[in-house]
Chain A
């Protein structure tokens, strides 16, 4: 199975701040990497698919990049609604595997 190492596990940040979350795969995943946001009610919202493609309706302050084994999600200027959990997911090979999550908290 492909292991996904997501860092940091938690991140205190301020409104307007630029933040980056990273995911490292245990082997190359050919850009088959998605990012999700999960709110406290459990709803999972897709943000970025195939490394860098913005899901329809997602604000442009979200962006993704990466290649090979290293990927990242950047939020350019934090808004109040961005404080949530974030997960990366690889879908290059089965089983799907996920990062352990990053809790973005208000500083």
Chain B
């Protein structure tokens, strides 16, 4: 069955870089797009970006300058890197392949 699982550090210092991994199973990354979505505490869902089946990427325009999404199809993994983190980036980060979602990983930006 389709599964996604996020992993990464729970705490990141301000101005540092966040690196998250989404490990998928039950489907091929070369046939499906994977999106990253985040949810700040107590708030709604915000699309972060996507990597399409062909390998091209698409980013939230507000985050584009700080964001990179890539993948390793041999390992069935998708990666998110976001630099210059600020406290406003504190959120649960999810990866999703519509309509399936990972469990999410809480990322706190704090010194």
A94 to B46 alpha-carbon distance, docked (Å): 12
Number of interface residues of B (CB under 8 A): 20
A91 to B50 alpha-carbon distance, docked (Å): 12
Q: Are the C-beta atoms of B99 and A95 separated by less than 8 Å? A: no
A36 to B96 alpha-carbon distance, docked (Å): 12
A45 to B99 alpha-carbon distance, docked (Å): 9
Is A55 located at the chain interface by the 8 A CB criterion? Answer: yes
A2 to B39 alpha-carbon distance, docked (Å): 19
B contacts with A: majority SS: strand
Task: Choose one: A89, A95, A101; the contact of B58 (CB below 8 Å).
Answer: A95
Closest to A94 in B: B58
Is B26 located at the chain interface by the 8 A CB criterion? Answer: no
Q: Are the C-beta atoms of B98 and A91 separated by less than 8 Å? A: yes
Q: Are the C-beta atoms of B98 and A49 separated by less than 8 Å? A: yes
Q: Are the C-beta atoms of B58 and A46 separated by less than 8 Å? A: no
Whole-angstrom distance between the Cβ of B24 and the nearest chain A Cβ: 15
Task: Choose one: A46, A49, A100; the contact of B101 (CB below 8 Å).
Answer: A46
Contacting residues of chain A (75-107) with chain B, CB-CB under 8 angstroms? 87, 89, 91, 94-101
Closest to A44 in B: B101
Is A12 located at the chain interface by the 8 A CB criterion? Answer: no
Contacts of A97 in B (CB 8 A): 47
Contacts of B58 in A (CB 8 A): 94-95
Is B37 located at the chain interface by the 8 A CB criterion? Answer: yes
Interface string of B33-75 (1 = CB under 8 A from A): 0010101000011110010000000101000000000000000
Task: Choose one: B44, B50, B99, B104; the contact of A98 (CB below 8 Å).
Answer: B44
Q: Are the C-beta atoms of B44 and A95 separated by less than 8 Å? A: no
Q: Are the C-beta atoms of B44 and A43 separated by less than 8 Å? A: no
A49 to B98 alpha-carbon distance, docked (Å): 8
Whole-angstrom distance between the Cβ of A41 and the nearest chain B Cβ: 9
